[in-house]
Amino acid sequence: MRVLITGAAGFLGSHLVDRFLAEGYEVVGVDNYITGASDNLAHLDGDDRFRLIEHDISEPLFVESSLDGVLHFASPASPVDYLEFPIQTLKVGGPGTHHALGLARRHGARFLLASTSEVYGDPQIHPQPEDYWGNVNPVGPRGVYDEAKRYAEAMTMAYRRAHGLDTRIVRIFNTYGTRMRPGDGRVVSNFIVQGLRGEPMTVYGDGTQTRSFCHVDDEVEGIIRLYNSSHPGPVNIGNPDEFTIRELVDMVMEETGSTVAPTFLPLPEDDPVVRRPDISVARRELGWSPAIDLRTGLRRTIPYFADLLNQTDARARTLSGAGR
């Protein structure tokens, strides 16, 4: 059995690669490294069941070897990243999804789309069930990501209806864990890095907005269950425990030992006021619910960032020493 995963060098993509390899699959990864990192796959050097094709899936891709599954995870996913790469974000969700679907069709493979809670925009229904159509501003700065993913869902359903392709759609809510980039810009990685460096945590707005944070191990388990099920989705996979950003600050301060007061910065445009998944479908159809609470998940994640920062600091010391 062989699967192809786009965005394989990314945060979620690389964890999925590991999971499929652990389940005995061969894995073909695809990444153009605009937000992915080869370090996320360095531990697979020499593993002949894995190979990486450096390629932008916004351009067509032909693969000779047979494929049983295609999982489309390529995309900038942090607001900071998709604001920096707005056109690439639209392209990977638009033509990129089309090419990944075409690849699945050519190989008779199952297709799984990584969609997002952002399809609900700034939601007027709370928590968000899958049958809520959302409240998205198409011309706002986040529209590049939200509309790309909405288009990607529509294209996936078109392939299902028109070509009988075996498809799945997962709507991923805020996820955190190892292999996020320290400069990724998302709130959990930002706060951990700031806490470890003794810098003030940057709260956008007044910090009363809410998010619900899922540890990557739970997220991957949910995605795998959806992939192996016969449910086409969309299915929300996220942790329904909801926190204000102020509550997150307090917890990350406790867990990193930081005592520096947070700083307040302007709220980004169209930043959703609340977000929390309704996971009834995942519970019923996949028998899935998250097992890792936020504090436990932070304790699993903080040492990863502490190591990274130590390495970065050590490199900086060597470089400044060499320059003297």
Contact positions vs ligand UDP (CB under 6 A): 78-79, 174, 186-187, 190, 202-204, 209, 211, 245, 267-268, 271
For the CB of residue 120, give the shortest distance to ligand UDP in the complex, in Å: 11
For the CB of residue 78, give the shortest distance to ligand UDP in the complex, in Å: 6
Q: Which value, in Å, is the radius of gyration of the alpha carbons in the chain?
A: 19
* 13 alpha-carbon distance from chain centroid: 8
Q: Are 27 and 55 in contact (CB under 8 A)?
A: no
How far is residue 176's CA from residue 186's CA, in Å, rounded to a whole number? 9
Exposed (0-12), middle (13-18) or buried (19+): which is 272, by Cβ within 10 Å? middle
For the CB of residue 174, give the shortest distance to ligand UDP in the complex, in Å: 5
Q: What is the DSSP letter of 171?
A: E
Identify which of residues 107 and 211 has a Cβ nearer to ligand UDP in the complex.
211
Query: Beta strands 210-212 and 242-244: pairing type?
Result: antiparallel
Query: How is 111-147 classified by DSSP, letter by letter?
Result: EEEEEEGGGGBS-SSSSBPTT---B--TTSTTHHHHH
Identify which of residues 44 and 248 has a Cβ nearer to ligand UDP in the complex.
248
Q: Is 162 in a helix, a strand, or coil?
A: helix
Identify which of residues 34 and 83 has a Cβ nearer to ligand UDP in the complex.
83
For the CB of residue 28, give the shortest distance to ligand UDP in the complex, in Å: 29
Helices (H), the chain: 11-22, 79-84, 86-93, 95-107, 143-163, 187-197, 216-228, 245-256, 280-281, 294-323
- The residues that are catalytic are 145
Identify which of residues 40 and 210 has a Cβ nearer to ligand UDP in the complex.
210
For the CB of residue 295, give the shortest distance to ligand UDP in the complex, in Å: 18
Identify which of residues 151 and 204 has a Cβ nearer to ligand UDP in the complex.
204
